[in-house]
Every structure is written in structure tokens, then in C-alpha cells.
Amino acid sequence: MDNLNIVQQFAIWVLPVLFGVTLHEVAHGWMANRLGDPTALMLGRLSFNPIKHIDPVGTIAVPATLLIISSIAGTPLFIFGWAKPVPVTFENLRQPKRDMALVAIAGPLANLLMALLWGVLIKFGYPLLGEETSWVGEPMVFMGLAGIGINSALMVLNLLPLPPLDGGRILIGLLPASFTRWLVRSEPYGILILLLLLTSGILGWVMNPLVALVQYAVISMLRL
């Protein structure tokens, strides 16, 4: 995709990013509803309409900025983002501590499923890469690759053991309270810590091999 201009790259990435962050949040709300908390359902957040989930910063500004920086600097493209968190009322869950971990893991699992579905799009696009149908096949393949990339990144990012990310909530739900007290206390500072890790390069150093591993697993499973 390096030979695409910024407009073409935007067209390729916009749907994978929107669906990646939207369905991630819908999965949280769907699981919460299944486990006794209808808050997201009552607020209309169990919707596949991206507009209901868009966060101006996380869904638009951050991915667009990373895309522009990559295009101008000629560096490898690395995109991630987030949507407005789906509200979950902890007290409504049948077994709050356990169920919160299940609600948290639903988002990353949704991203893994989406990565596989974008891979299926690639399988349909490959036979269309011939001279006469490349105008159809190439966008399908490029968008499929973008879909695998963004969903792999979202899955790995959200599984990092740092509240308010899903990985932190999973640990809080699974480990005894005596081991998770410091995790709960760190939640108000989670985003700041994440930004510091991002700007220092530590986040990329940790995530890149894991994202590559997930991408390899998806490609291998689908025999792309």
C-alpha cells in the first residue's frame, strides 16, 4: 500500500477503522446485556451505526493524524483509534467481578473475528487481480489487509494489562482483590500512561511483534 496517495489510503482505511472501533464497543454492550446489564441497549449503543460510537479524537483525529504523518514522513503506517466507551453498570451484572472480565474480553474477541472476516475479503479479491478486474480486486485486497492490520492492533492494544484498557479489566476480574488494588488505583492515569508509552516508542516496541503474530495467525488460518 506504500504506492497509494493519501486520498487512496484514507479510502482504504476508513471502513476498517470505523468498523473496528464500532463493533469492538458493540461487543462489550452485547455481552453486558447477555450478563444482565441492559444499559447499553437502553441507550441505543447496541447499534452498528458508527455515528453512535464515534469519538472525535479517538475515531477521527488520532487515526487521521497517524495517516498524515506516515504519508508525509514516508514511515511505516501504524494506525489505531478508539470509540466512545459503551456504558456498563457494574451492579447490574449477575456476577459482577467475573462478568466484568467477560464484558472486557468481548471487545478484543470481536476484533479477532473481524480480522478473520477481512481476510475472507482478501480471498475473494485475489481472483479478481487480473488485468480486466483489478479495479475491483485491488481495493478488496488492500481493504482486507487494512482490516486485518487495524483489528490486530486493536486486539493487542486493548489486551495490554493497563486499566482502563480491556486487559486491565480482565485482570481485575480474574485476580484476587489483593493483587488488583494497584490496578484499580491506576485507572484514572491509564490514558496518560498509554500516551507516554506511545511517545517514548515503548508501546510500539511491545505491540509490533504481537500485532505481527496475530496477523500471521490470521493469514495462516485462512491460508492467504
- 187 part of the active site: no
Catalytic position from the list 25, 131, 138, 187? 25
Beta-carbon contacts of 204 under 8 Å, excluding residues fewer than 6 positions away, are: 78, 198
In eight-state DSSP terms, residue 77 is P
| Cis? peptide before 209, omega within 30° of 0 | no
In this structure, the dihedral spanned by the alpha carbons of residues 47, 32, 157 and 145, taken in order and rounded to 10 degrees, is -40
Angstrom distance (rounded) from CA 206 to CA 44: 36
Contact 102, 29 (CB under 8 A): no
Phi, psi of 107 (to 5 degrees): -65, -55
Angstrom distance (rounded) from CA 25 to CA 44: 12
Query: Angle between the 96-125 and 134-158 helix axes, to the nearest 10 degrees?
Result: 160
Angstrom distance (rounded) from CA 86 to CA 44: 10
Residues marked active site are found at 25
